[in-house]
Structure 1
Amino acid sequence: MKINVVGSSGSGKSTLSRALADALGVTYIQLDQLFWRANWQGTPDEEFFPKLEAALADHSEGWVLDGNFNRTREIKWREADMIVWLDYGFWRIFRQSLHRAISRIISQEELWPGTGNRESFRQTFMSRDSILVWMLMNWRSNRQRYVASMLDARYRHLRIVRLTHPKETEALVASLVQYQDH
């Protein structure tokens, strides 16, 4: 099975993607890890797209891909079987984003191995590049884009699952574990 987990920043894409990959026994691929380089430098599309295509091809038996990057949609969704859209409410996602940012500032964990990228107080609370600002500015447009995708004939081959509450998310993971066991 090939699944792309999408949703606003802070919605829980990485957590759900890891759980789904574990439940299905497939590879977990994180778009941010493919994109971000040292010093918060992004990978140009002419390098990023081939990296993504290679990562998906290397795991043709199945994968769970974590991330949006709208410009990669044609690559990701060409091979995907299912899109899981975490569409939680604004305040839940804001709370989760804030909690995650504070936890990462305190822990100083490296976000993607080998990049040295870590969240800082300054970057999170005093910068236009803040992940919190990004979430605030993109939450509504992300929702509109995914609603449109659900109705787009180009994506009829995909099973699109819209999850609006953590209980639905838990039920999806449980059903895929059961599916895998059979």
Structure 2
Amino acid sequence: MHRISIVGTSGSGKTTLARQISQLLDMPHVELDELHWEPNWVEVSDEEIRSRVKIALSGDRWVVDGNYSKVRDLVWGKADTVVFLDYAFSVVITRLFWRTMWRSFTQQQVCNGNRESLRKAFCDRDSILLWALQTYDKNRQQYPLLFQQPEYSHINFIHLRSPQATKNWLSVISHQLTVNS
């Protein structure tokens, strides 16, 4: 595992897992949200994000998190491993709700100086909670089909269905590192 992509519905823990893998395997972590969003939640153009992703993934080792289909060919074209966090809807929406509440109240920066707000979360058409509702079933149907596409036959797909399965998988990786050291 030298080039890893983490995918899953918003709130599933992609960034958290990518950070853990980055530290465990001592490799750069690339957040697609950081490459996609400018300050004030301004989206970069498709050409710009593609350019940024090409640069970010120019190295031999990395872990990237995000679901941007507009750069999937770039990410998955180089990835040797894709991890799909496919948790129950109740897990995802609960995590996302509490994460959004925490970020809104603490004004924690999300990416490029952007911050979440209760207004944006509950009253905006671009609500992250609404986005999760709209994409949850789509992701669960889409990813298994993508895993079967011939252009991705070089990839080892890991389908994790619960936080405990993810914890166990990380534990195995950590154990393998210890044994091989």
* Global fold match (TM > 0.5): yes
For the pair 1:46 / 2:43, whether they are aligned, the reply is no
Deviation at 1:23, TM superposition (A): 0.9
Paired with 1:78 and 1:17, the residues of 2 have a C-alpha distance of 18
- Provide the residue aligned with 2:110 in structure 1: 111
Taking the TM superposition and a 5 Å limit, the aligned residue runs for 1:34-113 are 34-57=35-58, 59-60=59-60, 62-112=61-111
Task: Give the secondary-structure state (helix, strand or coil) at the position aligned to 1:83.
Answer: strand
- Provide the residue aligned with 1:8 in structure 2: 9
Amino acid aligned to 1:46: E
Please tell me the root mean square deviation across aligned C-alpha atoms, in Å: 1.0
- If asked which structure has higher relative contact order (CA below 8 Å, sep 6+), I would say 1
| Maintained 8 Å contact 1:10/1:96 | yes
- Provide the residue aligned with 2:130 in structure 1: 133
Runs of 4+ residues deviating >3 angstroms: none
Paired with 2:177 and 2:29, the residues of 1 have a C-alpha distance of 16
| Maintained 8 Å contact 1:20/1:176 | no
Paired with 2:14 and 2:168, the residues of 1 have a C-alpha distance of 16
TM-score calculated relative to the size of structure 2? 0.95
Paired with 2:140 and 2:24, the residues of 1 have a C-alpha distance of 27
Deviation at 1:180, TM superposition (A): 3.1
TM-score calculated relative to the size of structure 1? 0.94
1:120-155 per-residue CA deviation (whole Å, 9 max, x = no partner) reads 111001111100000001100111110111221221
- Provide the residue aligned with 1:165 in structure 2: 162
Equivalences, count: 178
- Provide the residue aligned with 2:118 in structure 1: 121
Amino acid aligned to 1:85: F
For the pair 1:152 / 2:164, whether they are aligned, the reply is no
Identical aligned residues as a percent? 35
Task: Give the secondary-structure state (helix, strand or coil) at the position aligned to 2:51.
Answer: helix
Paired with 2:168 and 2:155, the residues of 1 have a C-alpha distance of 20
1:5-64 per-residue CA deviation (whole Å, 9 max, x = no partner) reads 00000000011111111111111110000110011001101111011010010x32x111
Deviation at 1:178, TM superposition (A): 2.7
Paired with 1:76 and 1:116, the residues of 2 have a C-alpha distance of 25
Deviation at 1:118, TM superposition (A): 0.5
